[in-house]
Amino acid sequence: MAKRKMILDLDTGIDDSLAIAYALGAPDVDLIGIVGSYGNVVVEEGGKNALKILELLGHTDIPVYLGESHSSTSDHFDRMEVSANIHGQNGIGEVELPEPTRPLEKESGVDFLIEAAHKYGKDLTLVPTGPMTNLAAALKKAPEIANEIGNMTFMGGALTMPGNVTPFAEANINQDAEAANAVLTSPLHSTMVGLDVTLRTLLTKKETQQWRDLGTVAGEKFADIVDYYIEAYKQFNDNLGGCALHDPLAVGVALDPSFVTTIDLNMVVNYNKETYGRTIGDDNRLNEPTNVKVSVMVDKDRYLKVFMDYLTTLFKNNK
């Protein structure tokens, strides 16, 4: 049992599934729970996808909680068409997995986050890879957790390049810019793993073939899921030659910050109409102590080697 404890806050699509696998494969952390969010899919389907992936990987011991079902400023969630195109209608590349035997937890995911922060304190690592609605709600309900959580590393935002849903906004931040702004301007210290680094970190069919060659169900299913993702990426940028490892890179950086080069910054998230979702330095806090480390470069080759070592071993051991 590892001293470090991790909670993933996911809108479980394809790269979220890879994030789950990375966390399970890492030897130096215990994944103690998953909180579901909306985004790639609706919250209930995301939660069920997380349970399916956990069961595929032999970890029915890990609970999955549902968080908020829509943004902090709306009363419903409409899934974007681009999400269905990239992740498939079912969120996991149209690959069919058995219905999970473990049900979703009845407790609120927001309450689970708060309780875990109180219980584990600096040993807790939180990795949100969807909208920040759940974390913003937890901070609003229990502001003290901003000083209790040991490590918050999130996938989202773009500082040195355009967004991927608008010229200004990355998808996760765009889902709830107000919540993201509340988190980034709170006392909570965090590391941003945005498009600046995730689009440099690619997986190809060469790697998924290695999973097929294992001859295990887990390897075959994950290869099918990720090959769908790779093909979907061709619609948007055929020059990449693979798919970006957005969410699993955030998990990797949470466990080993040396994968990335960062700059220290105080950040705000714009939520006016013209630049909604833009993540940018806060000119009102230029001379104040900083609370965000923004990833701007990544050691992609070393990260990919660790990623493949963790996941291939995991898939090999799950027949």
Tokens at residue 48, please?
A: 């069920």
User: Catalytic residue numbers?
Assistant: 11, 246
C-alpha closest to that of 176 among 135, 132, 128: 132
Give the contacts of 307 (CB within 8 A, at least 6 positions apart): 22, 203, 245, 248, 252
The β-bridge relationship of strands 260-265 and 292-298 is antiparallel
Report H helices in the chain: 14-25, 43-56, 81-87, 109-120, 133-141, 171-175, 177-184, 195-198, 205-212, 217-233, 246-255, 300-316
> Environment class of residue 62 by beta-carbon count within 10 Å: exposed (0-12), middle (13-18) or buried (19+)?
buried
